[in-house]
Structure 1
Amino acid sequence: MSSSETIVLAGGCFWCTEAVFKEVRGVLDVESGYSNGQATRPTYEEVCTGRTGSAEVVKLVYDPMQVSTRQLLEIFFATHDPTQLNRQGNDVGTQYRSGIYFTMPAQQQVAEALIREANQDKLFDAPIVTEVVSLVHYFAAEDEHQDFFERNPHQGYCVAVAAPKVAKFRRTFRELARAG
């Protein structure tokens, strides 16, 4: 049995990020939560104020024998805008920042190398502003935020924002999609 690794990603609203990574082969668990702020056990309402310093994140537990850290980060960069500081589309505030919160030094090295390459190759119209820092803490979001897209596929935000990101993942990373 192979060992798993954990990485925490902030790519705007966690409903969208969670929806994408639930589709990825080798991702063993995806959980929405809050990370790297000053508050202890923040609530959704508190995080939405922007005053906790917490980001909306997803915690990914993955099998590195099935999907590499680099592949996960390539998906991450392709399914959100890493050049926008503290916003994703209409979601504005520090809680919607782009961030990679690593749990192992090797993840940091992969993230920094990928960002360097993307900026050198001008893959985006502006420089990447994604923060790459060690995971300080993580708190699971409330139950109603878990599996949100799966449970609410016809909700307006899911139709307008999450569904297109999932569709882009399926088109762009077909070889990394779960079977079935």
Structure 2
Amino acid sequence: MATEYAIIAGGCFWCTEAVFKQINGVESVESGYIGGHTANPTYKQVCNGDTGHAEAIRITFDPEKVSFGDLLDISFATHDPTQFNRQGTDIGTQYRSAIFPISIKQAEEAKAAIARAQSEHRDPIVTTIETGATWHPAEDYHQNYWAGEGQENRYCLAVIPPKLQKLRKHFAAKTVAE
């Protein structure tokens, strides 16, 4: 079994992590920061919007069970890729919609996924494709957030269940059986 990685930003990493942990073929999801200019950024620094980093997730997946393109399609269906530097009430470059391909093949697939998403949206897709960025894992308390403390966080309770509903509505066959 070959393992691959996908790095995707689509707003708050707590919310995107919760979605991708539900996908069959996803082995792990790590929250972190990518695409900025500060070495070893902290959550506080990233939230201030001065580092240039996006809150993102690094997905470890089995391509025999779920493709990179499927992961991108799921991302586009569970966040709003037409919002520039924001997702809902989260505003700033740290909440941008972005794909961070780790190969030329992934970059090509990212372009194709953006084209597929554009065919389903009236407004322009603003998701960027950013290459050559360094991944920084977020602090431990951000990992598996929804499964723990996130279930009591009002923000998460308002944002995550609708994302999970979209996931199950559009990608039920790709989700892990409950």
TM-score by length of 2: 0.96
Whether the 8 Å CA contact 1:8–1:135 is kept in 2: the answer is no
State the shift of 1:135 in Å: 4.3
Alignment of 1:4-153 (within 5 A): 4-119=3-118, 121=119, 123-151=120-148, 152-153=150-151
- The CA RMSD over aligned residues, in Å, is 1.0
How many Å apart are 1:158 and its aligned residue? Answer: 1.2
- Work out the CA distance in 1 between the residues paired with 2:71 and 2:47: 26
Deviation at 1:111, TM superposition (A): 1.1
Counterpart residue type for residue 130 of structure 1: T
Task: Please give the alpha-carbon distance, in whole angstroms, between the structure 2 residues aligned to 1:64 and 1:179.
Answer: 19
Q: Secondary structure at the match of 1:17?
A: helix
Report the alpha carbon displacement of residue 144 of structure 1 after superposing the two structures with TM. 1.0
- Shift of residue 83 of structure 1? 0.7
Instruction: Provide the rounded CA distance (Å) in 1 between the counterparts of 2:142 and 2:173.
Output: 28
Gaps of 5+ in 1: none
Query: 2 CA distance for matches of 1:84 and 1:55?
Result: 14
The separation in 2 between residues aligned to 1:156 and 1:127, in whole angstroms, is 30
Query: Which runs of no fewer than 5 residues in structure 2 stay unpaired?
Result: none
Other-structure match for 1:160: 158
One-letter identity of the residue aligned with 1:154: E
> How many pairs does the alignment contain?
177
Structure-2 separation of matches of 1:30 and 1:118:
23
Between stretches 70-79 and 134-143, larger displacement belongs to 134-143
Change (3 A) 1:166 1:135: farther
Q: Distance in 2 between matches of 1:117 and 1:161?
A: 24
**Counterpart amino acid of 1:175?**
A
**Is the contact between residue 35 and residue 135 of structure 1 (CA under 8 Å) also seen in structure 2?**
no
Normalising by structure 1, what TM-score? 0.95
* 8 Å contact kept, 2:76–2:117: no
SS in 1 for 2:5: strand
Distance in 1, matches of 2:73 and 2:12, equals 18
Task: Render the CA deviation track for 1:41-84: whole Å, top value 9, x for unaligned.
Answer: 10000000110000000000111000011110110000000011
Once the two structures are aligned, what percentage of the paired residues are identical?
A: 47
Q: Paired residue for 1:3?
A: 2
After TM superposition, the runs of 4+ consecutive aligned structure 1 residues lying more than 6 A away are: none
